Structure 1
Amino acid sequence: MGNLTHVYTLQNISYSIQPSKKLLISSDFYTLFIVMNGSGKLAIDHDTIHFSEEKCILIPPNNTVSIHIQSEHLCFYQLQFNIVNLSNSQNSYSHFTSISERHLLPFSQCHRLLEVIYQNRLAEDEHTIFEQHVHFQELMLLLLHQTIPKQMKKNDRQSVEQSVNHLQKHFEKEWTVEQLAQLADVPRWNYTRIFKDITGQIPLHYLTKLRIEKAKHLLMTTNDRVFEISQSVGFNNEYYFNRRFKEHVGISPGQYRRNQSSHIRVFAPFLEDFFVALGITPIAQFSHSKWGKQDYLGLQKVPDIDVQNREMDRLFYYKPTLIMLDSGVERWESFQHLDEVAPVCHLSHPGENWQSTLFKIADLTGKTSLMQDVILQYEDKVQQAKGILSKSVYGQSVAFLRISAIGITLYAGPKCGYTGPILYRDLGLMPHSLVWSIPHNQRKAQLKFAQLLQLDADHLFITFDKQHSIYENEERAILKTPTWKNLAAVKSNCVYEVDFLTWMNYGILSHSKKIDDVLNVLG
């Protein structure tokens, strides 16, 4: 840790509203002129500096300056200060050895500090005097941030990167895109483009994300009131903070804090896999009169609620503290009005990107540290399985079929669907040629009987859509047809039936179980 080399001591502050005339000013101290309104020229020796709004001009000691006012009025703060050297270095305040001009950004922050310092200029009590000293140091820090020589900025991208780093440290300040672009000395149109290229977001969206992430940390680690946290991260309005927090996180700040500090009672139909993976047992689980429930999760003692037969009223009895729904629940009319039971978090569940869903749920429930272990365990399992399968089924083709009373569905390749990313991407199995014929943006395709004849995959994984329905015999009737019996995988006894809800799921535990199923028959 470096040693403090000097401090700044404020000697005087004044606020002037001058009519059109010429002023002559001299001081034995360093002087800052910060223009609030109007325009003019400052002359010293043979140099001239133009006065304009939001400009700061620094004058070293023992200089006489004349100010020529060009507008109807010129309004400016004049601050006189000294530098107390705490070290033997003679270069510790080299930034202030010559006349210079700066734009203090964000200027709204500069303005606020100036107002507080000016209001307390006559203070006599020790507490207020020290508070004024601290605010003056903040103002000087703001000034120092603007003193990086332009020659050190090699190109626009480095300048924008520097402003991003500055924003990460000072996200609580009031910022506009114009101020950030000025800070980087890059035109706004180019600044926004480079900023998005670096961060993936436009500046103000990135700023909001920084503030929300800091707020989440404070909600977890402090007992500060929500209002105090909103102020400290840069939201001046608590209602606006609550609204933006819920937009980004899915629940209110208060609910987020409660989830972190207490045992959560959650109902998350179709998302139970992620909660169980994080060590959280839901207070109820979904079931479906035709599909059954997710037996692979081992939730035999957890009551189930049939989402198809409108049993949602039973939720009142289980008293959830959080209900989490993914975007696919719109098709279930029974999920309406659940906000009358408990706070509802609507989660964007991208399916194939199960990691982002796991991260979101871990973040909402205070399980982010455990999440990393869960993912690492899965990745280790994938690598081990991939090594085994590369030796046992190298060069052999694989396909997955979902069979129902209405037909046969072939699932897509390594980028789409419940199964392709696991079979073909994670495990490195070879898709059958029919799998590659499915358009890249589609997760599945219906197979006609003529196409079924072309399915000469070496290995077939199959599941039946409604194992507990009256159509079960009708679904399985295909297994007795000549077309089916003539398939290469059928003849070689390489057809493997798997559990419907285990394989028709995007959860990390279901994916892990898929790997187990594959190793059991192909390993």
Structure 2
Amino acid sequence: MRTKESLSPNYRSIVHVLLDIRYIVQPSDGRQNGQVNADYSMLVMTGGTGTIIMDGSEFHLERGRCFIVKPGTAFITVSEAKRGLSYYQFLFKIWDLHRTDECEQINGSQFFYEGEISCRPFSQCIEIVEAIYRNRHTKEELEAFYNHVRFQELLRFLFQQNRSDQSSLLKRQAVENSIEHIQQHYQMPWTVEQLADLADVARWHYTRIFKEITGQIPLDYLNGVRIDRASQLLLTTDDRLFDIAQHVGFNNEYYFNRRFKQKLGITPGQYRRHHRNHTRVFAPFLEDFVVALGITPVVQCSHSKWGKQDYLGLHHVPVIDLAADDVDTLSRYKPDFIMLDKGMDKWMSYDQLGMLAPTYHINHPEEDWRMTLQRTAELLGKSGMVQEIITQYEQKAHAAKQALMRSVRGQTVAFLRISALGISLYSGPDHGYTGPVLYKDLGLAPHPLVGELTKNIRKIVLEGEWLERLDADHLFITFDKRHSITEGEERKILQSQSWLELPAVMNGFVYEVDFLTWMNYGILSHGKKIDDVMKVLA
């Protein structure tokens, strides 16, 4: 039998204890007063741009960066003009349970060093961070324990990313320096071997580290930098395409055209014509993103059952009914450029649309509206607006979340889509039109049935006993008229006994919302959802 005395003298029982987590929104040109914490501090950046100053050293701040500040270290965060800054701040201790009979805090760990640490893929990191933040005030003992487990999961994720030895850290810094060199000297005819030699890192190591940092292999990244610069020159000069291609580092105009279209979906010539003139855009059910970027579509889409997206305020823009009109009708408005999401071929032929105007099939990852906004901005020459739009949304959502925490703490919410076919319950914080806003951005508590029934699907039809078990404190509902044969058929469910006996119905806490506003993934629709929630719950 092994006894306590038989343990190795080098054995250490190190425990990381979460003390607090805060979400900080710093206004543009803001400055967070200098902090000197007695505990470890970890900053996870979520939006905006700025600088952190730690003991005289400056580091750039932007979404996706993470920093560790050791106890006793002074630091200041400064946001840039017009951008603001938002981040999560963790406070935690590191205890060595084996050094003495009583726990002893230590100011050192084999895993962490002061300054920036890697947190890639950031989507995985931020998912854990937001889960910890959502549950930080729980009064349930088991859930509080789970939150500490989540914190350990976060640290494990970070440890794995950052436990490299000093040699690896130096290699990573060398690759980062070479990336900065690419951004300044993109015109040069680089090969991967030359870039690896520049960093003094073996080629296979170089490519692996490069992809960890940028998400791309070196030459794809280089071509992306060149195309970004070419896009600027197409809008600001009258230079020939051949000259622009040569200037940014492409020695072949055909190859330049092919790579440009591969990234942006249209040729350089089309890009120049679209953006230097007032582009006449047709973007069915993607108008939300177009309007968010300050562009008015030449025509807006509508549906005979659903109507049009009135929340966009496009009252002066002509309407085309997808259920009744065809490509010939659309041709009267002479669009210069067509943006399509998947599924449009239910109403109009892709081939016919392509003959009418240059057509781009945008990959719309739906819940990831930020990516759709970025891709739309790239196509429309508005990339510079994206981060500010996202930051404004995040600041609005955070302010709303803080207010709702005071007004509806401990109360549950569910969202229902009602049609003549039945009642659909929408999913939790990771799926669907509504969950990411209600439960993630606003931090509202989903009714237990939401997690129990929907799990990894976006919605599920509630039947029989499931509807009777929906004792949520608040219900948001919308009506889908698509399957109705007679006027108002979808509302008959409101007369059933099972509906009338729901607690939210009896208490008057049922809120009807606009169908197309809520059945939408756009950033403007998400902002309207926040407004609707605040009107009734704040």
Alpha-carbon distance between aligned partners in 2 of 1:466 and 1:154, rounded to the nearest angstrom: 59
Please give the root-mean-square deviation of Cα atoms over the aligned residues, in Å. Answer: 2.3
Alignment of 1:302-313 (within 5 A): 302-313=317-328
Tell me the amino acid that sits aligned with residue 449 of structure 2.
L
Alpha-carbon distance between aligned partners in 1 of 2:205 and 2:486, rounded to the nearest angstrom: 62
Q: Does the CA-based 8 Å contact 2:419-2:482 persist in structure 1?
A: no
Shift of 1:267: 0.7
* SS, match of residue 488 in structure 2: helix
Alpha-carbon distance between aligned partners in 1 of 2:337 and 2:432, rounded to the nearest angstrom: 28
Alignment of 1:197-216 (within 5 A): 197-216=212-231
Classify 1:152/1:474 alpha carbon distance in 2 versus 1 (closer, same or farther; 3 Å).
Answer: closer
User: 432, 456, 467: which is aligned to 1:417?
Assistant: 432
Q: Does the CA-based 8 Å contact 1:411-1:419 persist in structure 2?
A: yes
Classify 1:299/1:173 alpha carbon distance in 2 versus 1 (closer, same or farther; 3 Å).
Answer: same
User: 346, 352, 358: which is aligned to 2:373?
Assistant: 358
Classify 1:467/1:428 alpha carbon distance in 2 versus 1 (closer, same or farther; 3 Å).
Answer: same
**Residue number in structure 2 paired with 1:481:** 496
Tell me the amino acid that sits aligned with residue 184 of structure 2.
K
Q: Does the CA-based 8 Å contact 1:322-1:343 persist in structure 2?
A: yes
Tell me the amino acid that sits aligned with residue 305 of structure 2.
K
* SS, match of residue 395 in structure 2: helix
User: 361, 382, 402: which is aligned to 2:417?
Assistant: 402
Q: Is 1:224 aligned with 2:239?
A: yes
Tell me the amino acid that sits aligned with residue 179 of structure 1.
Q
Which has the larger Rg? 1
How does the TM-score come out when normalised to structure 2? 0.65
Deviations 1:220-252 (A, max 9, x none): 222211111111122222122112111111222
**Residue number in structure 2 paired with 1:178:** 193
Deviations 1:111-131 (A, max 9, x none): xxxxxxxxxxxxxxxxxxxxx
Q: Does the CA-based 8 Å contact 1:354-1:508 persist in structure 2?
A: yes
Q: Is 1:274 aligned with 2:293?
A: no
Q: Does the CA-based 8 Å contact 1:260-1:364 persist in structure 2?
A: no
* Count of aligned pairs: 373
Shift of 1:509: 1.6
Q: Is 1:287 aligned with 2:298?
A: no
Alignment of 1:291-302 (within 5 A): 291-302=306-317
Deviations 1:264-301 (A, max 9, x none): 11111001112222222211111112211112222222
**Residue number in structure 2 paired with 1:236:** 251
Tell me the amino acid that sits aligned with residue 214 of structure 2.
T
Shift of 1:402: 0.7
Q: Does the CA-based 8 Å contact 1:462-1:497 persist in structure 2?
A: yes
Q: Is 1:466 aligned with 2:509?
A: no
Alpha-carbon distance between aligned partners in 1 of 2:190 and 2:422, rounded to the nearest angstrom: 58
Shift of 1:171: 2.2
Q: Does the CA-based 8 Å contact 1:417-1:443 persist in structure 2?
A: yes
Shift of 1:373: 4.4
Classify 1:236/1:439 alpha carbon distance in 2 versus 1 (closer, same or farther; 3 Å).
Answer: farther
User: 143, 162, 178: which is aligned to 1:163?
Assistant: 178
Alpha-carbon distance between aligned partners in 2 of 1:438 and 1:181, rounded to the nearest angstrom: 51
Alpha-carbon distance between aligned partners in 2 of 1:384 and 1:198, rounded to the nearest angstrom: 32
User: 461, 465, 468: which is aligned to 1:453?
Assistant: 468
**Residue number in structure 2 paired with 1:57:** none
Classify 1:281/1:158 alpha carbon distance in 2 versus 1 (closer, same or farther; 3 Å).
Answer: closer
Alignment of 1:322-337 (within 5 A): 322-337=337-352
Shift of 1:256: 1.8
Alpha-carbon distance between aligned partners in 2 of 1:331 and 1:175, rounded to the nearest angstrom: 46
Q: Is 1:189 aligned with 2:204?
A: yes
User: 487, 501, 504: which is aligned to 2:519?
Assistant: 504
Classify 1:440/1:153 alpha carbon distance in 2 versus 1 (closer, same or farther; 3 Å).
Answer: closer
Classify 1:218/1:273 alpha carbon distance in 2 versus 1 (closer, same or farther; 3 Å).
Answer: same
* SS, match of residue 461 in structure 2: strand
**Residue number in structure 2 paired with 1:77:** none
Q: Does the CA-based 8 Å contact 2:432-2:458 persist in structure 1?
A: yes
- % same residue: 62
Alpha-carbon distance between aligned partners in 2 of 1:299 and 1:466, rounded to the nearest angstrom: 22
Classify 1:462/1:245 alpha carbon distance in 2 versus 1 (closer, same or farther; 3 Å).
Answer: same
Classify 1:152/1:386 alpha carbon distance in 2 versus 1 (closer, same or farther; 3 Å).
Answer: closer
Shift of 1:360: 2.6
Q: Does the CA-based 8 Å contact 1:310-1:334 persist in structure 2?
A: no
User: 430, 437, 441: which is aligned to 1:426?
Assistant: 441
Alpha-carbon distance between aligned partners in 1 of 2:486 and 2:468, rounded to the nearest angstrom: 24
**Residue number in structure 2 paired with 1:253:** 268
Gaps of 5+ in 1: 1-150
Alpha-carbon distance between aligned partners in 1 of 2:460 and 2:167, rounded to the nearest angstrom: 58
Alpha-carbon distance between aligned partners in 1 of 2:528 and 2:487, rounded to the nearest angstrom: 24
Tell me the amino acid that sits aligned with residue 183 of structure 2.
Q
Alpha-carbon distance between aligned partners in 2 of 1:440 and 1:173, rounded to the nearest angstrom: 51
Q: Does the CA-based 8 Å contact 2:327-2:348 persist in structure 1?
A: no
Q: Does the CA-based 8 Å contact 1:305-1:312 persist in structure 2?
A: no
Alpha-carbon distance between aligned partners in 2 of 1:209 and 1:316, rounded to the nearest angstrom: 34
**Residue number in structure 1 paired with 2:529:** 514
User: 438, 442, 449: which is aligned to 2:457?
Assistant: 442
Q: Which moved more, 1:213-222 or 1:160-169?
A: 160-169
User: 379, 385, 389: which is aligned to 2:400?
Assistant: 385
Deviations 1:168-226 (A, max 9, x none): 22222223333333333333322221111111111222122111111112212222111
* SS, match of residue 307 in structure 2: coil
* SS, match of residue 318 in structure 1: coil
Alpha-carbon distance between aligned partners in 2 of 1:496 and 1:328, rounded to the nearest angstrom: 30
* SS, match of residue 449 in structure 2: helix
**Residue number in structure 2 paired with 1:7:** none
Shift of 1:439: 5.4
Alpha-carbon distance between aligned partners in 2 of 1:447 and 1:249, rounded to the nearest angstrom: 42
User: 390, 411, 417: which is aligned to 1:375?
Assistant: 390
Tell me the amino acid that sits aligned with residue 513 of structure 2.
V
Classify 1:217/1:166 alpha carbon distance in 2 versus 1 (closer, same or farther; 3 Å).
Answer: same
